[in-house]
Amino acid sequence: MDELDLLVIELLKQTVCWICEKTLPSKCPWCTTGDVDCPMKFLETSYGYRVVHIHCWDKGSEAFTGKK
């Protein structure tokens, strides 16, 4: 990773999941264990890049992207 990647990651740490709106990184409501930080996934949309918890992506990304 280069400096830009690290900067983006730092910025994302201060943002929220685009789907569940929980602060990232945080405990994801879809986690079954409840004590594991979810990894994040980048979602490219017409609005630009969004970041979501992996579990939120799995549960409902289609509804947010409009893709089937």
Radius of gyration of the chain (CA): 12
In tens, the pLDDT along 26-64 reads 555 555 555 455 666 666 666 666 777 777 777 655 544
- pTM of the predicted model over 0.75: no
Residue 24 confidence (pLDDT)? 63
**How far apart are the C-alpha atoms of 14 and 61, rounded to whole Å?**
21
DSSP code of residue 26:
-
Residue 37 confidence (pLDDT)? 54
Q: Domain segments of the chain: what residues?
A: 3-65
**How far apart are the C-alpha atoms of 58 and 14, rounded to whole Å?**
22
Which residues, 6 or more positions from 21, have their beta carbon under 8 angstroms from its beta carbon?
Answer: none
Residue 35 confidence (pLDDT)? 47
Indicate the fold that domain 3-65 takes in CATH.
Herpes Virus-1 (3.30.40)
Give residue 68's pLDDT band: very low, low, confident or very high (50, 70, 90): very low
Length of the chain: 68
Residue 66 confidence (pLDDT)? 46
